[in-house]
Amino acid sequence: MLVLDRLSLDYGGREVIKDLSVVLHSGQKVALIGASGAGKSTLLMHMYRQLKDRATLCAQSQGLVDSLSLYHNIYMGALARHSGLYNLANLVWPFKTPLAEVSALCHALELDIPPSTLVNRLSGGQRQRVAIGRALYQRQPIFLGDEPVSALDPAMADRIIRHILGSHDTVVMVLHNRHQALTHFDRILGLKNGQLVLDAPASTLTLADLDAFYGDAMKDEEAQC
């Protein structure tokens, strides 16, 4: 599905992904872990650029429009499926079908609040689920998520991750929560200072392995400061 061969990425000449090779296969559910600044978002954005036609991206920045409702923010995921005229009319007076679809999506994401609620009235966790809803409503086979459930309580995060995994053929998700990575994903990639230092089936790893991975990564990070 995606082959990265000795990939290097930089910002203004500063290399943040270094000589990274990885093959991602269709159908895989991949957790991408690593200390803050390791290069996870940079790598995920690169994957998105390569897979754009088939992938949806749920970025950390969310990009919600505060002056619009929950309904309209989620509906944005469908903009490319409809004509400009349809989208404009729906902005003014929501159509029945998308309203029902978005309501069902909200229910699945435990956003049981009126679809007309402005997103600037929502909590951090609710906003994250609106961003996830918009990504889901794109109905792409590949979901790329950058810490999409970081603001949710652990039990809800588990349910939402399950929903995302169940709605997509292939998932790559940046996570800091080791338990979530081990429980829900079948492959774990670990980045350290822009290099891929861990690539293993989740079934072969333990919480202690991931603790050790993060411990080493933190030590390296502190040494660089």
Which amino acid belongs to residue 180? Q
Which amino acid belongs to residue 84? G
Q: Residue count of the chain, please give it.
A: 225
Q: What's the Cα-to-Cα distance from 54 to each of 30, 138, 140, 156, rounded to whole Å?
A: 16, 10, 6, 27
Q: How far is CA 221 from the centre of its chain?
A: 24
40 binds ligand ATP (CB under 6 A): yes
What is the smallest separation between the CB atom of 176 and ligand ATP, expressed in angstroms? 7
Dihedral angle over CA of 120, 123, 126, 128, nearest 10: 80
42 binds ligand ATP (CB under 6 A): yes
What is the smallest separation between the CB atom of 107 and ligand ATP, expressed in angstroms? 30
38 binds ligand ATP (CB under 6 A): yes
For ligand ATP, the binding residue among 11, 53, 112, 203 (CB under 6 A) is 11
4 binds ligand ATP (CB under 6 A): no
Euclidean distance between CA atoms 196 and 20, whole angstroms: 6
Euclidean distance between CA atoms 150 and 138, whole angstroms: 21
81 secondary structure, DSSP code: G
Q: Which is nearer to ligand ATP, 26 or 211 (CB)?
A: 211
Q: How many residues bind ligand ATP (CB under 6 A)?
A: 10
What is the smallest separation between the CB atom of 11 and ligand ATP, expressed in angstroms? 3
For ligand ATP, the binding residue among 5, 6, 13, 36 (CB under 6 A) is 36
Residue 110: name the closest of 130, 124, 96, 94 by CA: 130
Euclidean distance between CA atoms 149 and 208, whole angstroms: 23
For ligand ATP, the binding residue among 4, 18, 37, 221 (CB under 6 A) is 37
Q: Which is nearer to ligand ATP, 44 or 102 (CB)?
A: 44
39 binds ligand ATP (CB under 6 A): yes
What is the smallest separation between the CB atom of 42 and ligand ATP, expressed in angstroms? 3
Question: Which stretches of the chain bind ligand ATP, using CB under 6 A?
Answer: 11, 16, 34, 36-42
